[in-house]
Amino acid sequence: MSGQTTDQAPYRKVRWTWTALPGLAMLLALFVAPLGLLVVYSFGTIDVLGRPVVGFVWTNYEQVLQGYNLPAVLRTLAFAVAATAVSLVLGYAVAYAAVRFAGRAGPVIIALLIMPWLVDYLVRIYAWKGLLAEEGLVNWLLSLAGLGPVQILGTPWAVVGGLVYGYLPLMVVPIYAAFGQMDMSQIDAGKDLFGTPVRTFWYVTLPATREGVVGGCLLVFLPVLGDFATTQFLGGPNTTMIGNVIADQFVSAGSQPFGAAMTVTLLVGLVIAVLVAALATRRRSGPAGGGLL
């Protein structure tokens, strides 16, 4: 019996290796190769016809570090922090209600929240443009209440609202999963020990769902940093994000190497942010906790 198991072990290894090849090929084609092209272009230049030329110069990265686009970077960080904070408050409340009060309907609520993701993001954001327009549904409701109409499109409020709408499910799902691993009787025990709702949340609920919170914040914060469609449709000249600046370099400015350098710099910053957050959660969880790494 042991001999048969030993004979089958190499076969299993070969079989799993061949099974993984399609996934590895897709990863190589859709991620590694485009990323490699970005890195190569980021060190290149453009010729007199505006075509990218492969080379090895640091000019593009020097321009990135000179801070000409610092206002767009700071604005992007502000939008990302605001969207993440609002998504955290709303997402935590929705996940808690789905677990605590909805019972068996909890998964249905989460599924309904995720269903809009079946529609393309650009279509959903364009629909929001109609809702927030001067003659849209939101201003119509405000007019009925005697509060409108007001200018919403082109403001930071419209951009943050669109970002929250677009990325809220990415906050809800990991927090909901964290609640699923939590013993909900701990909350009742905290109340039985005369703990106030605030103290019970701070010392019982939040620590038990910390990894879900960190994961949700990362899943919202990181994509928002590279978002450009939301401010393109809902924002204005004063709401330009770094994603719009990068897109302009590739599309209208004809400076693909500079855009590639900005993209690589942004990716490096995102990787550093993920590593810092993962190491922080691992340190708080301890050797046995695991954390995000």
For residue 13, what pLDDT is reported? 53
For residue 8, what pLDDT is reported? 53
The answer to whether 150 and 142 are in contact (CB under 8 A) is: yes
Taken in order of first residue, the domains within the chain and their CATH numbers are 52-277 (1.10.3720.10)
Residue 283: Cβ within 10 Å count: 11
The residue ranking higher by pLDDT, 174 or 145, is 174
Structure tokens at 109: 């609520």
The residue ranking higher by pLDDT, 216 or 50, is 216
Mean pLDDT, rounded, of the chain:
81
For tokens 């959660």, the residue is: 281
86-91-94-97 Cα dihedral, nearest 10 degrees: -110
Q: How would residue 90 be classed by pLDDT, with cut points 50, 70 and 90? A: very high
- Name 60's Cβ contacts closer than 8 Å, sequence gap at least 6: 42, 43, 44, 257, 258, 260, 261
Alpha helices (runs of H) in 115-228, residue ranges in sequence order: 121-132, 137-144, 156-180, 185-192, 197-200, 206-208, 210-225
Structure confidence by residue, pLDDT tens digits, 163-219:
999 999 999 999 998 888 877 777 767 666 666 777 777 777 788 888 889 889 989
The residue ranking higher by pLDDT, 19 or 242, is 242
